[in-house]
Amino acid sequence: MKRQNVRTLSLIVCTFTYLLVGAAVFDALESDYEMREKEQLEAEEKRLQGKYNISEDDYRKLETIIMEAEPHRAGVQWKFAGSFYFAITVITTIGYGHAAPGTDAGKAFCMFYAVLGIPLTLVMFQSLGERMNTFVKYLLKRIKKCCGMRITEVSMENMVTVGFFSCIGTLCIGAAAFSHYEDWSFFQSYYYCFITLTTIGFGDFVALQKNRALQRKPLYVAFSFMYILVGLTVIGAFLNLVVLRFLTMNSEDERRDAEERASLAGNRAGSLAVHIQDEMLQRGGRRRREAHVQHHALGRLRGAFSNQNSYSSQLSPHQQYFHSVAYRIEEISPSTLKNSYLPSPISSVSPGLHSFTDNHQLMKRRKSV
Amino acid sequence: MNVSESKGYGHAAPSTDGGKVFCMFYALLGIPLTLVMFQSLGERINTLVKYLLHRLKKCLGFRRTEVSMANMVSIGFISCMSTLCIGAAAFSRYEDWSFFHAYYYCFITLTTIGFGDYVALQKDHALQNNPKYVAFSFIYILTGLTVIGAFLNLVVLRFMTMNAEDERRDAEQRALLSRNGQAGSGSGMAAHFHYIPDPPSSSSAASGLGTACGGGGGGPAGGGGGAGRGLRNVYAEVLHFQSMCSCLWYKSREKLQYSIPMIIPRDLSTSDTYVEQGETFSAQPLTSNGCVCSLRHPSAVSSVSTGLHSLVPAYPGHSKRRCSI
């Protein structure tokens, strides 16, 4: 089966397994607590009903009133500061839900706002994250030079380590700040920061909801907004470093396959290029052979193209995708291009060069996943 | 499930500390896994749709059976809208919401915002009593996220990798310029070319592209004496053509697909990178062939361009981005 299909299927299987495992663990951890909570609430309910002689209906009404009053108790949610907070939760997809549009018009606008805002925000954070990674890479290189280290190249491990520690640092700073301002425990604040910066945003803990902070404490409000945006950038930079390449894997494999198919449609120049590349790939102790191939290949290049089908047999299967690179022209419009452009020897060789480099890098990735 | 999709309704959030801790670790692994899974599946779906559309066009006897980006985007958009509408219809029936509220719920869910003001499976103990509805809800959410993910994969993903690719290209150019400055003819490019076996820390095919491009910029083919550079030995003769080809690497693949005859005269002057390096080229003794940008060898370039264009397999938007932004 094609590599991309295998990859996709295994990912699906992994995800489902992960869901099942998560469900089992959460069940084990939370079910008992939930049952106990429910029993306690019911006991309280009976007690109150008995004490104040409240009817069932009235009690339900009271419950509804109390639940609906909660956001209001937290303060005015839809003035400018609150709305800005809400807009942040929409476009970053955090979505606490502490305040959600009540009017239909608000809901409709929310949807259009999200349609444009979410991709914009995604691209913005990835862009900014990439800039940060580049900057950190530069700083790290300078530090290595200053410290007199022999190898001043910044490796992926370095970057991942730095990124990881930045994330932990960001979470800890936020946890300290919010536990101070919101009167939560450090663990609860850390949990809040984590759920916020991974954009899950349960809403069980929400900042700026106590003591009318949205209206009364502009500095704290500004800090919260800045923290969320900066924290998302740091997480975004880490994701950009670690996860983004995996998101494009299938597309790149697909492109490579398409080129393979195009070239396999049969092109004599391709075989020549393949031959060259084939030789090219066999590095290490084959200089003489390379030199021989060089003259051989160049001689052929200078000559007119002749049918090189004999070389095809020399190809090992995994290298066939090399010659595909040279023959995208086939795929594009064989009738117009074939006769006018293919006769040039360069078209097969230079792509060969490039495809070698391109595929070398691609090969590396192929091997690692 | 809501955690790993980072949709977080909050209708149920872990109350115990153990639950919170497990939740965080669960999310740490689960969110990237889910992101990659949805993008992977979305890409497969896009490929299938492209194939089907191609076949459809052939069957209907269209002259041009290539599937354009506009086709794909329209189909993607319509799929998203239908997914939302189907969900809205279903949930408005099962949850007793109005169609608009159910649509709003589906939208907020599938964009992973997840306010929690509307949450399915919360009425009449549906989670325990109505297994079919439960199964439908789960399948709907996962399928819907796949459709949205496919659309994002089609439209947004390329923008997320833009900076990184531009950065790589800049790095290649810098390396090329510095090597040209040091080494002079031939060796600079070949040395740069030999960069391939020593890959940069970020393993991506784009660096290969950039390498070859940078190699092209170096130009001169005279370096036959590179005993220590196996690659150079093989390609010395043709490397000067590479310099002409390089400019054309920045041509968009899509444009090339439909406008090859028009490319050659235009391409020769579009490479902004080689405008910068023009003086570097002229300083090279062996660049008698000159950069393609100087239009000295249009015929060679024309054949080279198509060859070169084929060198840009993986980054279709490469030059388009440079030119347009």
**For residue B46, how many other CB atoms are within 10 A of its CB?**
21
Q: Do B16 and A199 touch (CB under 8 A)?
A: no
The structure tokens listed for B90 are 């279903």
- For chain A positions 241-270, those within 8 Å of chain B (CB to CB) are 242-252, 254-256, 259
Given a cut of 60, whether residue A299 has pLDDT beyond it is no
CA atoms within 13 A on the CB side of A9: 6
State residue B3's pLDDT score: 60
The CA distance from A318 to A260, in Å, is 11
State residue A215's pLDDT score: 86
Name which residue leads in pLDDT, A65 or A313.
A65
Name which residue leads in pLDDT, A207 or B316.
A207
Q: Say yes or no: A156 contacts chain B, CB-CB below 8 A.
A: yes
Name which residue leads in pLDDT, B246 or A328.
B246
The CA distance from B69 to A259, in Å, is 18
Q: How many helices and strands in chain B, by DSSP H and E?
A: 15, 0
Q: Say yes or no: A31 contacts chain B, CB-CB below 8 A.
A: no
Q: Say yes or no: A16 contacts chain B, CB-CB below 8 A.
A: no
In tens, the pLDDT along B15-61 reads 899 999 999 999 999 999 999 999 999 999 999 999 999 999 999 88
Q: Is the Cβ–Cβ distance between B141 and A121 less than 8 Å?
A: no
* B187 phi/psi in degrees, rounded to 5: -60, -35
Max mean pLDDT range (A133-147, A328-342, B8-22, B283-297): A133-147
In tens, the pLDDT along B164-199 reads 888 888 889 989 988 887 765 544 444 444 444 444
Nearest Cα residue in chain A from B46: A251
Q: Say yes or no: A361 contacts chain B, CB-CB below 8 A.
A: yes
Q: Say yes or no: A309 contacts chain B, CB-CB below 8 A.
A: no
Q: Which residues contact B158 (CB under 8 A, 6 or more apart)?
A: B317
- Sign of CA pseudo-dihedral A303, B266, A336, A268: positive
Least confident of A150-159, A313-322, B179-188: A313-322
CA atoms within 13 A on the CB side of A122: 20
**For residue B104, how many other CB atoms are within 10 A of its CB?**
25
Max mean pLDDT range (A85-94, B165-174, B256-265): A85-94
Q: Which residues contact B167 (CB under 8 A, 6 or more apart)?
A: A130, A134
State residue B179's pLDDT score: 84
The CA distance from B233 to A56, in Å, is 91
Q: Do A200 and B19 touch (CB under 8 A)?
A: no
Given a cut of 90, whether residue A136 has pLDDT beyond it is yes
State residue B183's pLDDT score: 63
Q: Say yes or no: A134 contacts chain B, CB-CB below 8 A.
A: yes
Q: Which of B15, B24, B36, B309 to mutate to test the interface with A (most CBs of A within 10 A)?
A: B36
Nearest 5°: the CA angle B63, B68, B71 is 100
Q: Do A127 and B111 touch (CB under 8 A)?
A: no
The structure tokens listed for B99 are 């169609």
Q: Say yes or no: A293 contacts chain B, CB-CB below 8 A.
A: yes
Q: Do A4 and B304 touch (CB under 8 A)?
A: no
State residue B276's pLDDT score: 41
Distances (CA, A) of A241 to A5, B126, B160, B201: 25, 42, 12, 11
Nearest Cα residue in chain B from A158: B201
Q: Do A127 and B202 touch (CB under 8 A)?
A: no
Which of A248, A298, A343 is closest, CB to CB, to B161?
A248
pLDDT band at B137 (very low <50, low <70, confident <90, very high): very high
Mean per-residue pLDDT, B146-162: 89
The structure tokens listed for B269 are 């002057």
Q: Considering only CA atoms, which of A87, A91, A65 is closest in space to residue A78?
A: A87
Question: Is B291 exposed, middle or buried (CB count within 10 Å of its CB: 0-12, 13-18, 19+)?
Answer: buried
Entry pTM: 0.66
Looking at CA atoms only, how far is residue B23 from chain A in angstroms? Answer: 8
Given a cut of 90, whether residue A248 has pLDDT beyond it is no
State residue A111's pLDDT score: 94
State chain A's mean pLDDT as an integer: 78
The CA distance from B215 to B275, in Å, is 16
pLDDT band at A54 (very low <50, low <70, confident <90, very high): confident
State residue A247's pLDDT score: 85
Given a cut of 70, whether residue A182 has pLDDT beyond it is yes
The CA distance from B141 to B106, in Å, is 8
Q: Do B311 and A110 touch (CB under 8 A)?
A: no
Residues of B in contact with A364 (CB under 8 A): 199, 203
Given a cut of 60, whether residue A354 has pLDDT beyond it is no
Q: Say yes or no: A95 contacts chain B, CB-CB below 8 A.
A: yes
Q: Considering only CA atoms, which of B219, B235, B215 is closest in space to residue B296?
A: B219
Residue by residue, DSSP assigns B241-256 as HHHHHHHHHTS-HHHH
Name which residue leads in pLDDT, B317 or A288.
A288
Q: Which of B231, B306, B325 to mutate to test the interface with A (most CBs of A within 10 A)?
A: B306
Q: Radius of gyration over alpha carbons of chain B, in Å?
A: 27
Given a cut of 70, whether residue B296 has pLDDT beyond it is no
Residue by residue, DSSP assigns B126-191 as HHHH-HHHHHHHHHHHHHHHHHHHHHHHHHTHHHHTHHHHHHHHHHHHHHHHHHHHHH-TTHHHHH
Residues of A in contact with B204 (CB under 8 A): 245, 361, 365
% of chain B exceeding 90 in pLDDT:
32
Distances (CA, A) of A312 to A11, A257, A315, A323, A353: 35, 18, 5, 10, 18
Least confident of A9-18, A39-48, A76-85, B302-311: B302-311
Q: Which residues contact B113 (CB under 8 A, 6 or more apart)?
A: A89, A90, A93, A94, A95, A114, B7
Given a cut of 80, whether residue B1 has pLDDT beyond it is no
Which of A33, A155, A362 is closest, CB to CB, to B16?
A33
The CA distance from B23 to B33, in Å, is 15
Q: Do A201 and B8 touch (CB under 8 A)?
A: yes
In tens, the pLDDT along B96-117 reads 999 999 999 999 999 999 998 8
State residue B63's pLDDT score: 86
Inter-axis angle of helices A104-146 and A156-181, to 10 degrees? 130
Quick check: ipTM above 0.90? no
One-letter identity of residue B49:
V
Mean per-residue pLDDT, B226-244: 53
Q: Is B266 left (phi over 0), alpha (psi -120 to 50) or beta?
A: alpha
Tokens 């009167």, residue located: A183
- Sign of CA pseudo-dihedral B218, B223, B225, B231: positive
Q: Which residues contact A160 (CB under 8 A, 6 or more apart)?
A: A241, A242
Question: Is B146 exposed, middle or buried (CB count within 10 Å of its CB: 0-12, 13-18, 19+)?
Answer: buried
Mean per-residue pLDDT, B241-252: 50
Given a cut of 80, whether residue A141 has pLDDT beyond it is yes
Q: Do A199 and B162 touch (CB under 8 A)?
A: no
The structure tokens listed for A334 are 């064989």
Q: Which of B31, B113, B141, B232 to mutate to test the interface with A (most CBs of A within 10 A)?
A: B113
% of chain A exceeding 70 in pLDDT:
72
The structure tokens listed for A256 are 């490579």
Given a cut of 80, whether residue A179 has pLDDT beyond it is yes
Residues of B in contact with A123 (CB under 8 A): 156, 159-160
Distances (CA, A) of B236 to B216, B223, B282, B294, B300: 11, 6, 19, 22, 17
Residues of A in contact with B114 (CB under 8 A): 93, 95, 97, 200-201
Which of B23, B44, B314 is closest, CB to CB, to A255?
B314
State residue A86's pLDDT score: 94
Looking at CA atoms only, how far is residue A255 from chain B in angstroms? Answer: 6
Q: Is the Cβ–Cβ distance between A270 and A348 less than 8 Å?
A: yes
Mean per-residue pLDDT, A149-159: 86
The CA distance from A342 to A327, in Å, is 9
Which of A290, A298, A358 is closest, CB to CB, to B230?
A290
Say which DSSP state A101 is in. Answer: -
Q: Is the Cβ–Cβ distance between B161 and A248 less than 8 Å?
A: yes
Q: Considering only CA atoms, which of B289, B97, B272 is closest in space to residue B185?
A: B289
The structure tokens listed for A4 are 């991309």
Residues of B in contact with A202 (CB under 8 A): 8-10, 13, 116
Q: Which residues contact B189 (CB under 8 A, 6 or more apart)?
A: B176, B179, B180, B214, B215, B216, B217, B218, B219, B220, B223, B232, B239, B242
Say which DSSP state B65 is in. Answer: -
